[in-house]
Structure 1
Amino acid sequence: MIKFRSGDLMRIKSNMPLKMLITNTKVGRNTKALVASVSERKVRHPDAMISVFTAVDSISNELASIIQSPASDDLVIIEKEEKLEELMEMNQGLLQCMGVSHASIETVLRSTLKYKLASKLTGAGGGGCVLTLLPSRTVVDQVIAELESCGFTCLIAGIGGNGLEVCFGGSS
């Protein structure tokens, strides 16, 4: 996982397996216009927007800390997943405050919330994709069926594995 910190790019290694549902709303977006809109909002409400940006940074730092800390057993993993769910919900609320959500994103949020799953937009917002944390205790078939009935496309991604490995000469 890669995280931005105060303009710097930082790689973080997850010490816990995570599964995410990626829902593509199939709604195109104009990143340049969304960034301009957030900038205009910052000019109109500088103190409030600085507080929002500070909160987003705090959430990112806490999330990085949680996923980098060791997960010794299933109980610890469940506790960490619950914290991640809360952080994702808080982050999504802040993104809504910035004005970068969209009706299609809100549809995904309502659908996943019915199953007590935490979701947030990804990228610039305004459409695009939504990430939903899939805790280890989650069955996703019904969630995916509901989202796909809305015309969305769903994929499941694992986070925290070794990634691509190339082996030579039969060794692993």
Structure 2
Amino acid sequence: MLSEVLLVSAPGKVILHGEHAVVHGKVALAVALNLRTFLRLQPHSDGKVSLNLPNIGIKQDWDVARLQLLDTSFLEQGDIAAPTPEQMEKLKEVAGVPENCAVTERLAVLAFLYLYLAICRKRRALPSLDIVVWSELPTGAGLGSSAAYSVCLSAALLTACEEIQNPLKDGARVSRWPKEDLELINKWAFQGEKVIHGNPSGVDNAISTWGGALRYQQGKISSLKRLPALQILLTNTKVPRSTKALVAGVKNRLIKFPEIVAPLLTSIDAIALECERMLGEMALAPALEQYVVLEELIDMNQHHLNALGVGHAALDRLCQVTMAHGLHSKLTGAGGGGCGITLLRPDLEQEEVEATKQALTGCGFDCWETSLGGPGVSMHSAASLNGPVQQALGCF
């Protein structure tokens, strides 16, 4: 068992193109978002394992000796497997989450407990740990916050239990694991996602593990080899929505108007493929006219998504505000509210960007200036983390 403090981070994600069409067998492009979730794991000897999630107000601990006495044979399935409904009921009993706890909080605790017991059970004694997880990502906004959480937990627990090596060498500020270790992290994170979401696609944990950009189609995930540096505004309209209801609405519209909706889905697929081709070209030799093409693709996709019925007045307002500043935006994720992305061309003056951000926050939205295509799950030295992250994780 490792004795040092571990500091891990993993990115969120945005869907660049392909929302909803991906449900019907078309291509979706997912890109790592340079807003990250951070985890601090500290071994100690007080006989407890504790979990602190300051973003959602969770602070809970369990007696390791009591957990050690549990029958964890339900986790012993040889290969990494998803928990069954019966196993989930056992986890709920062990977790002791208060009944008045919201669903998000309860599932976060269950995912942690599952990963802790499943990964650490091979050891003679369960480790006594203090774990803090803090995120720059808003929860429930379609930005892959739960996947980043599961990836951070999986990477930290696997490293602490010496299932994989700590990649951080002396003097390094940030390091990443080799391919085979990343594959193991991704497999475990997918199980954490199953605890939280039931039947996830695997895209969110994959992009959080590997970083960069991924193409997803009918269950097949492949990495985009080249990606240019793209700057964006990410805007959260803070309008809640139900992904399940929005997906069902598109399906109903497809059944009702097949000759209208099917071509829209085909066109969204073509937009995703053209964007993929353009990103490949830009990675080799970026030019301003290529950004203009990306903006046109963004506009066309947003109109298609509105035609599918997944728009919202708040998203329309977002597009209007950014268009007034000469910028182009689209929703990302399920739509019906949630988040939108705005492409920032490299020739933009910072004053114009700031004016746009101010106009969006004036609408009551949250807005971040960030980038796409960053690195996946990483191990950090304390010196590599900025002050706010260090403070949130209690690194002082």
- TM-score by structure 2 length? 0.40
Q: Does 1:8 align with 2:220?
A: yes
Aligned twin of 2:78: none
Q: Structure 2: give runs of 5+ residues left out of the alignment.
A: 1-212, 382-396
Instruction: Spell out, residue by residue over 1:63-119, the C-alpha distance to the aligned partner (whole angstroms, 9 max, x if none).
Output: 01111224555xx42111111000000000100110000010001000000011110
Aligned twin of 1:127: 337
Task: Output the CA distance in 1 between the equivalents of 2:374 and 2:226.
Answer: 8
Q: Which moved more, 1:62-71 or 1:146-155?
A: 62-71
Aligned twin of 1:37: 249
Task: Output the CA distance in 2 between the equivalents of 1:167 and 1:158.
Answer: 20
How far 1:156 sits from its partner (Å)? 1.6
Aligned twin of 2:231: 19
- Does the Cα contact within 8 Å between 1:13 and 1:160 map onto a contact in 2? no
Aligned twin of 1:96: 306
Task: Output the CA distance in 1 between the equivalents of 2:368 and 2:296.
Answer: 22
Q: Does 1:56 align with 2:268?
A: yes
Q: Does 1:159 align with 2:372?
A: yes
Q: Does 1:141 align with 2:351?
A: no
Higher RCO (Cα < 8 Å, 6 or more apart): 1
* Residue-pair matches, total: 166
CA separation of 1:87 and 1:70: change in aligned 2, threshold 3 A: closer
Percent sequence identity is: 37
Q: Which moved more, 1:104-113 or 1:135-144?
A: 135-144
How far 1:12 sits from its partner (Å)? 1.6
Query: AA paired with 1:144?
Result: K
Aligned twin of 1:106: 316
Q: Which moved more, 1:151-160 or 1:94-103?
A: 151-160
Q: Does 1:46 align with 2:258?
A: yes
Q: Structure 1: give runs of 5+ residues left out of the alignment.
A: none
Task: Output the CA distance in 1 between the equivalents of 2:364 and 2:358.
Answer: 10
CA separation of 1:167 and 1:147: change in aligned 2, threshold 3 A: closer
Considering only aligned residues, what root-mean-square deviation do their CA atoms show, in Å?
A: 1.9
Query: AA paired with 2:358?
Result: A
Query: AA paired with 1:158?
Result: S
Larger radius of gyration: 2
- Does the Cα contact within 8 Å between 2:226 and 2:283 map onto a contact in 1? no
Aligned twin of 2:53: none
Secondary structure at the counterpart of residue 133 of structure 1: strand
Secondary structure at the counterpart of residue 371 of structure 2: strand
Secondary structure at the counterpart of residue 69 of structure 1: helix
CA separation of 1:77 and 1:16: change in aligned 2, threshold 3 A: farther
How far 1:3 sits from its partner (Å)? 2.5
- TM-score by structure 1 length? 0.88
Task: Output the CA distance in 2 between the equivalents of 1:41 and 1:15.
Answer: 34
Task: Output the CA distance in 1 between the equivalents of 2:294 and 2:267.
Answer: 15
